[in-house]
A and B are shown apart, each in its own frame.
Chain A
């Protein structure tokens, strides 16, 4: 179905600069949530993409919550752009997702149109420059989420001070003036104000096939080997693009199953995604597909993965890093992904210090490659928290233990936090009982008493046994558990 080839430079949105009719769909709920959990958002957004695909097979996902399609073809089919916008909005809201739809010439204007009016606007062909002319220059900030451009926020502050308040006034300046006065960002802003794309497409896209693909024989049943391959494929693709001095605006990821079913997605690239980030998008795509039942056991595994660079532009010498990937060096990422390919995505974790009372609560583990979301802020006081120093061994699941007094009876704690007798023996991990030389406690903790399902009443103790080991033990519901060891 999507047979557009990147090598010719054509794309879903057409090639002619300035005359492309673009439809933008914005789902405001997703766009606010996206900052926090991009992976989860990308997976959950998949059904919405499916709805849009019924209108136009080639959907460009700018990010979860923001998609664009070429409006001309579907509009002809649905009898006009107004009707297309209305039907699409209805179909998406029918899934319980609020959305705004805008249609205009070019992506920037279409995005602004989607932001305007009660539910977005359809700007008739040829009227885009009038529409843009009245828009305040502050709207240039919006371009940052659409294109690889920077320096625009500063420009939006500078222009009003020079008496330029609307995009129309800025567009009226000669382009050369905008360039000489405001530099490269001025030229970009000027093109945007005139309703053009920020950078012209490469003038003579070479008739080269820069796409890369890998067949899987036997078919890959799991996502991990495919994602792992995607990383090296993306490396090859980037190297080929760089060798020709190009960057791609978008990358198309095509996955074909043994029974012939295929899934193709377009992801924003802008020459900014690292190979790891491309692999990450492949994983989102596969996860979303699997969750939606698109790829099931009958599909028989994945036989082909193909990455197609789309819309070639001259490379401007960007570093290949974005969205936190800069922190992880390529070498580390490669090793981590290789291990993930062996053991599964969740087997490799990055820790994040978090707030909490028990030592296990104070660390949050996130699979490598996913963005970490601190649920409990670490900086805030947690009354009842075990004071420093922290134990070096923290059992993910507390181990059963027995703590007895000198008469061999289990030590218990009364409702008023009184111990029945001093602890004299500790048997941990099924080992022999050892004499307790020092101890302190109980430190009672009552957590989440308002939530019966998650409420905890505990009493913590620190114990030292005669072999010199120090332990953090907890008494919960009459059972003794070892939470941590100080070793």
Chain B
């Protein structure tokens, strides 16, 4: 019975028959349920909407596990927030302004860092995207894009948010409840969503509403699970 319970709590990993291992970088427990592989698949491209805590939090689990992370094109990356979410600043390298040569910079970084978080200064043309995707595959690193990337294997996005703690002239920001929706490229992929504390009162990222950390998108889930 206990085994059954465990399985029902982590349906994502079992359904896709992919277990976190060599080819998958771990993510924070709160985010694992959103990703089909339970983590970031090495060699893949993952988008996280526009830059924000979600993109930093996606790298946090792997960083805490020993992975090196490079952030480029984001001069305003909040290192304190990243650290509070679990990202180890000792294994973080920032290239705030990669300039016009950003594609070469990203390609160099992919050959060295486990995760490269990129905010492209301009929408990259398809040919360039394919080149960088190939570089990520070759070096087995993860390209995490804060922005649009048509070829991405996995897309995450904050679709709703609500801050608590602040009133009209009193209080202070304490926590944000955010709905994060993940969708994949494959035909069998259906969007998954969940409510997260992004961040919680201490800056950490945890599951907010559903105990399992996973709920489908209402009606779609009802239909597909029949």
Q: Which residues of A contact B (CB under 8 A)?
A: 327, 329, 331-336, 338-339, 342-343, 347-353, 359, 362-363, 365, 368, 387-396, 422, 438-440, 462, 464, 468, 470, 484-487
Contacts and interface: CB of A to CB of B under 8 A. Distances in A.
Given A391-B78, A392-B81, A464 B166 contact: yes
Nearest to A486: B173
Interface string B169-211: 1111111100000000000000000000001111100000000
Contacts of A331: 111-112
Given A332-B93, A392-B82, A393-B76, A486 B163 contact: yes
A395 B201 CA distance: 22
Residue of A352, A388, A438, A470 most packed against chain B (CB within 10 A):
A388
B27 to A, nearest CB: 17
B80 A359 contact: yes
Nearest to B57: A392
Contacts of B170: 440
B75 interface: yes
B168 interface: yes
Interface stretch (B30-38, B95-103, B213-221): B95-103
A422 B169 contact: yes
A133 B93 CA distance: 52
Nearest to B72: A339
Contact of B98 (A343, A395, A470): A343
Contacts, number: 158
Q: Describe B's contact surface by its main secondary structure.
A: mixed
Nearest to A393: B76
B83 interface: yes
Nearest to B92: A351
A422 B108 CA distance: 50
A205 to B, nearest CB: 37
Contacts of B163: 438, 464, 468, 470, 486
Contact of A440 (B160, B169, B175): B169
Interface residues of B, number: 55
A351 B98 CA distance: 17
Nearest to B108: A338
A362 B108 contact: no
Interface in B129-165: 160-163
Given A335-B109, A390-B84, A391-B81, 20 more contacts: A336-B112, A338-B112, A339-B109, A343-B97, A343-B99, A349-B94, A351-B79, A351-B92, A368-B93, A388-B201, A392-B81, A394-B77, A395-B76, A439-B166, A440-B171, A464-B173, A486-B176, A487-B50, A487-B51, A487-B52
Contacts of A343: 95, 97-99, 101, 105
A350 B108 contact: no
B89 interface: yes
Contacts of B90: 327, 350
A363 B77 CA distance: 10
Contact of A392 (B56, B93, B95, B166): B56
Contacts of A327: 90
A359 B56 CA distance: 16
A391 B51 CA distance: 12
Contact of A487 (B53, B112, B113): B53
Nearest to B162: A468
B226 interface: no
Nearest to A362: B80
Given A336-B112, A440-B167, A389 B52 contact: no
B8 interface: no
B80 A347 contact: no
Contact of A347 (B76, B97, B108): B97
5 contacts: A339-B109, A353-B79, A353-B83, A363-B80, A462-B173
